[in-house]
Structures are given as structure tokens and as C-alpha cells.
Amino acid sequence: MERIIPEGVHSVITKLIEDVYSLEVYVKPTVVLVPSFIETKVVELSNAIGFDVDTLEYTLGMFLCYPLGMIMMSLPYGKMKHLFSFLLGMFLLQFTIGVQWIHQLITSLVCYVMFLILPHRLSKIAVPVFCMLYITAGHLHRQFTNYLGWDMDFTGPQMVLTIKLYSLAYNLFDGHLLYEGTQNRATKKCAPFAVSKVPGLIEFLGYTFCFSNVLAGPAFEYRTYADACDGSLLYKSDGKPKGKIPSHIMPTLRPFLESLIYMAVFVAGNGKFPILDTINPQKNTPVVISPENLSQPWIQRYTYNWLSLFFIRFKYYFAWKNAEGANNIWYAGFEGFDSKGKPLGWENANNMDVFDFETSPNLRTLTSLWNKKTSNWLTRYVYIRTGGSLLATYGMSAFWHGFYPGYYIFFLSVPLITMCERLARKKISPRFSSAKWSPYGIVCIFATSFIVQYVIMSFQLLALDWTIVYFKSQYFFGHILCIVFYLFASLLLPTPKKKEA
């Protein structure tokens, strides 16, 4: 960052950051929920097992959500659950990111005031804009002070919070339209998540700080959280169950055990096929574009890249599956009952279907299965609110992630792949079986993986120079293949006639 910022501007930014850091002396006394002896024990454990302190604290925080979830389930419905959710979310943030927890509180309270004083038609704009500006400042600060660094800071939880507050702004607006009896197409689609009035402060903070998703998500809707806390998810107003309440044991145990497997696979696989340099990943040349790797034949380079990306994903699988179980333990992941009293399932906290994702036959399916609750946010509150604009949707996703060039190269490449897929569905798919495991379906699975694994590496490399070297080493084959296919299918491949009924 210093290389591309003029010296005068660099000095101003540095001074501004120093001024903000000077406020830490006032914030430090707010870190009251984590005794000093706990921090000492974590450092000792870190030295003993060879984990860096940040990663260890984050991992321990994830596992702590399980006993906390058991306590949450045993508490009476109502404010007690909301207060517990807030205080324990506050504890987890202070445990993992220390004084930076204050960003979560500031953002939540500012947005709450906007919800109270602004008309909903304005707050649905003001709150998302404020949240995006706040996370933007966080991303820019991180890139300025720790370029290409992977240290834990407040931006991860802040990304989850941004989704929650952005969504709630539209939930309140939709609730207002439904109350007035006027609704548009987007409101009708999102009616199940509409909120009729601004929640009380404790309920609101219980949601924004919700302990079971404050670190890694999933950022589910406010209605999902509130229904689990007030008992309306399981019981009628007269106190009778809405149906036979299913056991939460297997929905909790299964993702928990899966998360342990995914963590083991990540540690073993990423150790053998790392993307970045293991000694100094921030500054040294990444392994995937190292001279040793680039000297190998293309097929070996591509295979190594494919495996390295495959194993890096298990880090996310661990976090999301672990969080899924922690939410299911107190029924926040349960979807409730249908009109006949039959359980609907446990999808509320499911952020990832690993096997379905890894065998996706097209990009549309793949993107809908990766980080599903974020995908829901982008679909409900960006895509359908902008008339189905892919540019706005992918642009918002890139903006939300940060400002490394690798993000934007990836997201700008996705529309090209999407255009090819739409053309293939129109001109090729009608000629073959639509079954996923048919010969054509299997070809689609391999083709999707082949292209996506090529283009997504920029998302991991982040830096422009590293990304360009990587694509050069791959001869830009993915982009070239997409352009050639699109021209061939558009100009030379006839559209099959629809079969008569």
C-alpha cells in the first residue's frame, strides 16, 4: 500500500490511524469479561502446541459455543435468552479480538438509533450505507497497516454484522409496507422475514452479538433468531407444541463431528499443498507461483493448484459446520413446523452442503451452495432489489470482502463464466439428459470444477502482481476458453427446437 500512496496522503492516513489508536486507552477498560489469567493460559497452550495465539483463541471460541449453547437452551424464553446471547457474544469477541470488540458495539448502537429516528424508507438506505462504509474503513485500515496479512481482527465479525444490519433494515421496511397493505415484488418474496417493529434494545443486541454466530456466522435473519428466543418457533401462543419437537442431538453432533474431520483434513492437506509460503506468507513468493512450481509441466502446476485450493476450503468448512452445530443445539437452526405440524428441517444455520458444492454441475448451483446465508443476503437484499443486476450483486460481494485486486479480478471473471453457462443451458443442455449423474451431468461437474478452480486462485493470492503471474503461468486458459466457447456457441451452434408436448 505504501508503494502506491503519495507520501503526503500516506502521512495524513498514518496520523489519522494514530489518532484512532490513541483512543484505545479509553476502550481497554471495557474488556471486562475476560480475566487476565485466561489470556495467560491461552499463551501457554499456544506455545505448547505450536498454534499462533490468534488462531487458537478463535478455535477455542468456536468450541466454547457448544457448552454456551446448552446453557442457552436451558434458559427461559424471552429477555433472559437475549441478554445471555448479548453478553456471551460480547465475551467471545473480547476473548478473540480484545479491544476491537468495540466496533461491533458502535456499529450496532448507531444503526439502532437510525432505526428509531428515521422512517423505514430512509433507514433501509442509511443503515446499509453506514455499515458498508464502516466495513470499508476496516478493510482499508487492514490493507494499509498489514498488507496481505492474515491476522485476526474485527473485520471478520464485522462482515457478519454488516449482513445482519443490512438485512434488518430491509426487514423493517418490508414489515412497514406489509402493514400499509402496499408491497412490491421484492417485499412479497421476503415477506416471511419481515419485521413489524423495531426490536427492544436487549433483543436487538442479542441478535447482533448472538454468541453462536458472532465469530463465523451464519448471519441468519432476525426473525429466525427472535423465534428461537421467544419460543414461537416450537410452541403456540397457548403453550402447546406446534408439533412433535425433534431431538437436537444428531443435528448438533453431526456437524460438530464433521467440523473435526474438516479441520484435520485442512491441517494435513494444507500442510502438504500450501498456496502461500509457509515461512513468511505475507511477503515471500507464494508456493503456487514459486520458481520451483513454475518449472514443472503445466499439468503438474494445475494439479497442484487444484489440490491446494481443495484443501484450503476445508478451513471454511470447519468454521461453518462447527457454527451450524452450535446454533442447532439451542434450536436456532431448526426451521419449525409446516401447517400439519411436521418438522421442516434444520436449514436455518446450514451454511454449507460440502458434497453438493464439490460436485456442483454449474456455477449458479456452486455459488448458491457456498456460504449460503451470505448468498441469501445478496439475493434477497441486493439482486432482487436491483432488478436482477449481476453487476450490482457481484460488485457488492467484492466490496463486502475488501479491496484487494484479487477479489475484483475473480468477481469480474464470474460474469464471463455465467454468460457461457447461460448459453450452454440454452443451446447444449436440451440435447442431453438433465440428470446430475448422467454422462452429460458428470462432464458439467468436471468442467465447472476445471474452470472455477482456475479463476478462484486470485481470491487467495489477493495481490495484483501475484495474480498476474499466476494467470500467466496458466496461459489465461480459462478466460480464453470461455471467450472461444461463447463465440462458437453464439455464432455457429444452432438453438435446438423445443420438443412438442
What tens digit of pLDDT does each residue of 103-112 get?
A: 999 999 999 9
Q: How confident is the model at residue 4 (pLDDT cuts 50, 70, 90)?
A: low
Question: Ramachandran region of residue 120, left (φ > 0), alpha (ψ -120 to 50) or beta?
Answer: alpha
Residues spanned by the domain of 302: 246-352
- Record the pTM: 0.92
417 and 307 together in one domain: no
Q: Dump pLDDT digits (tens) for 355-395.
A: 999 999 999 899 889 999 999 999 999 999 999 888 889 88
How many whole angstroms separate alpha carbon 103 and alpha carbon 44?
28
Residues 110, 185 within the same domain: yes
Is the residue at 7 inside a domain? no
From 352, 381, 411, the end of a domain falls on: 352
Does a structural domain hold residue 35?
A: yes
Q: In angstroms, what CA-CA distances link 39 with 33, 61, 460?
A: 11, 13, 31
By the 8 A CB rule, do 171 and 222 touch? yes
Q: pLDDT (tens digit, 9 = 90+) per residue, 71-98? A: 999 999 999 999 999 999 999 999 999 9
User: Domain boundary at 352, 381, 416, which?
Assistant: 352
CA–CA distance from 238 to each of 82, 228, 501 (Å)?
22, 17, 52
Residue 88 in domain: yes
| Backbone φ, ψ for residue 352 (5° rounding) | -160, 125
Q: Is residue 490 part of a domain?
A: yes
Q: Which of the listed residues 310, 332, 352 is the one where a domain comes to its end?
A: 352
Number of structural domains, the chain?
3
- 154 lies in some domain: yes
Q: Per residue in 329-340, pLDDT tens?
A: 999 999 999 989
* 357 found inside a domain: no
Q: Which pLDDT does position 242 carry in this prediction? A: 94
Tens of pLDDT, residue by residue over 472-492, are 999 999 999 999 999 999 998
**pLDDT score at 300:** 96
In which residue are the cell numbers 444428531 written?
250
* 68 lies in the same domain as 170: yes
Tell whether 136 and 45 lie within a shared domain.
yes
Residue 89 lies in a domain: yes
